[in-house]
């Protein structure tokens, strides 16, 4: 997994020779915009919250542990300095709970009148097989939890899209590891199919990251069918980044702990790793190039989707959408 990501990263660097690389300083003024970032208290989410706030957006950090979130918010405010007066708020959000995700969205809509940027960043990787509080395999919650949050937020996303000068972004963080789903037989028609244990740790991770892309596809398809043309849904693979996401690896294979230093040498830092999702969330090029339902690899490069992610007949995406709707009726 890590080696493949490093390989992809190297290819993208080579293809960018002679081309100006997108930088964090290319983020436009975001004054008046409001954003949500899940998992914003650490890693890529932390950098995303900080840079959106630095450029004038009011940002809601959605994460599970309030003490960690509030500490992260104070750290960001210190980094940015008192002159900027960054606006960052906290809402409790547990990716493993459909009820929590729905409640977080409802609380947000009680507090705000618009939502310009939604970055579904929170994630779990390579954890041992375990069911969450809703009876959903924990890695599968990468997809189901963000479905519950995003679909509940659709009314305010649509309202924002109808406002003058708006261009709404939904950014779903996936991984090049979605290709591991090719080693499985995806079945999103039932909870039993979603929870299949036989796929192994990496197979389940690949399926969860595939659902992030399928959600992107389905959201864009539905907005287009409704005649809404200024909501841009993108899936982003950030590359191999040194974040807390690797904790799951050590839970599954504790003997890898001595290799953590080697792993850090093979990965990039969160500041660089967050560039592609910041590009997707803010760059005017997304509109200029009409990057709807697009998959981006680092740094800010369009990547062709594998057949399983293209989902041309819409079966996988449709099955996943209907299953999530049913799970929300039962559990949220």
Residue 126 has a pLDDT of: 78
Q: What is the band of 6 on the pLDDT scale with cuts at 50, 70, 90?
A: very low
Could you read off the pLDDT of 88-124 as tens digits, one per residue?
A: 999 999 999 999 999 999 999 999 999 999 999 999 9
Q: Find all residues with CB under 8 Å of 88, minimum gap 6, and list them.
A: 49, 53, 58, 59, 60, 61, 73, 76, 77
Residue 255 pLDDT exceeds 80:
no
Beta bridge partners, 232, equal 169
- Pairing label, strands 58-63, 117-120: unpaired
Query: How far apart, in Å, are the Cα atoms of 294 and each of 23, 69, 92, 174?
Result: 20, 30, 29, 12
Could you read off the pLDDT of 131-153 as tens digits, one per residue?
A: 999 999 999 999 999 999 999 99
Please tell me the distance from the alpha carbon of residue 308 to that of residue 291, in angstroms, as a whole number. Answer: 19
Bond preceding residue 41 cis, omega within 30 of 0: no
Please tell me the distance from the alpha carbon of residue 36 to that of residue 58, in angstroms, as a whole number. Answer: 9
Residue 242 pLDDT exceeds 70:
no
Contact 113, 31 (CB under 8 A): no
Note if 205 is an active site residue.
Answer: yes
Burial 313-328 (b: 16+ CB within 10 A, else e): eeebbbbbbebbeebb
Contact 76, 100 (CB under 8 A): no
Annotated active-site residue in 205, 221, 279, 292: 205
pTM, two decimals, is 0.88
- Give the number of other Cβ atoms within 10 Å of residue 89's Cβ: 16
The separation between the first and the last C-alpha atoms of the chain, rounded to the nearest angstrom, is 34
Note if 209 is an active site residue.
Answer: yes
Residue 15 pLDDT exceeds 80:
no
Q: Which CATH architecture has domain 28-331?
A: 3-Layer(aba) Sandwich (3.40)
**What values do phi and psi take at 38, rounded to 5?**
-85, 150
Please tell me the distance from the alpha carbon of residue 157 to that of residue 294, in angstroms, as a whole number. Answer: 19
Please tell me the distance from the alpha carbon of residue 184 to that of residue 205, in angstroms, as a whole number. Answer: 11
- Please give the full DSSP string across 250-287, using - where no structure is assigned: HHH-GGGGGGHHHHHHTSB-HHHHTHHHHHHHH-THHH
- Kindly state the average pLDDT of the residues 69-77: 97
3 state DSSP class of 298: coil
DSSP code, position 131: B
Could you read off the pLDDT of 201-224 as tens digits, one per residue?
A: 889 999 999 999 999 999 999 999
Residue 267 has a pLDDT of: 63
Residue 59 pLDDT exceeds 80:
yes
Q: Could you tell me which residue, 244 or 327, shows the higher pLDDT? A: 327
Annotated active-site residue in 102, 103, 108, 209: 209
Q: Find all residues with CB under 8 Å of 222, minimum gap 6, and list them.
A: none
Show the tokens assigned to 226: 């409704």
Residue 284 has a pLDDT of: 98
3 state DSSP class of 27: coil
Place of tokens 């405010």: 77
Please tell me the distance from the alpha carbon of residue 129 to that of residue 138, in angstroms, as a whole number. Answer: 7
């Amino acid at each position: 997994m890590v080696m493949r990501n490093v390989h992809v990263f190297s290819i993208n660097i080579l293809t960018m020779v002679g081309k100006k690389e997108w930088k964090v300083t290319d983020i436009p003024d975001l004054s008046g915009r409001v954003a949500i970032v899940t998992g914003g208290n650490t890693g890529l989410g932390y950098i995303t919250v900080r840079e959106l706030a630095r450029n004038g957006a009011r940002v809601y950090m959605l994460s599970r542990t309030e003490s960690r979130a509030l500490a992260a918010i104070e750290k960001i405010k210190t980094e940015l300095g008192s002159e900027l007066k960054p606006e960052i708020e906290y809402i409790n959000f547990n990716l493993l709970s459909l009820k929590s995700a729905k409640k977080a969205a409802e609380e947000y809509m009680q507090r705000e009148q618009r939502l310009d940027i939604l970055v579904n960043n929170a994630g779990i990787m390579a954890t041992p097989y375990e069911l969450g509080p809703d009876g959903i395999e924990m890695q599968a919650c990468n997809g189901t939890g963000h479905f519950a949050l995003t679909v509940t937020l659709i009314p305010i996303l649509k309202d924002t899209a109808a406002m003058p000068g708006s261009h709404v972004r939904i950014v779903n963080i996936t991984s090049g590891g979605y290709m591991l789903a090719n080693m499985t037989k995806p079945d999103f028609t039932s909870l039993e199919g979603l929870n299949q244990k036989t796929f192994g740790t990496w197979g389940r991770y690949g399926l969860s990251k595939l659902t992030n892309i399928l959600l992107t596809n389905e959201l864009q398809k539905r907005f287009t069918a409704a005649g809404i043309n200024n909501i841009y849904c993108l899936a982003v693979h950030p590359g191999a980044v040194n974040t807390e996401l690797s904790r799951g690896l050590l839970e599954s294979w504790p003997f890898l702990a001595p290799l953590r230093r080697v792993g850090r040498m093979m990965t990039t830092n969160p500041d660089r790793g967050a560039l592609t999702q910041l590009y997707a969330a803010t760059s005017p090029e997304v509109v200029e190039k009409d990057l709807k339902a697009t998959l981006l690899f680092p740094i800010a490069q369009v990547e062709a989707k594998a057949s399983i992610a293209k989902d041309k007949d819409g079966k996988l995406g449709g099955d996943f959408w209907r299953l999530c709707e049913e799970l929300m009726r039962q559990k949220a």
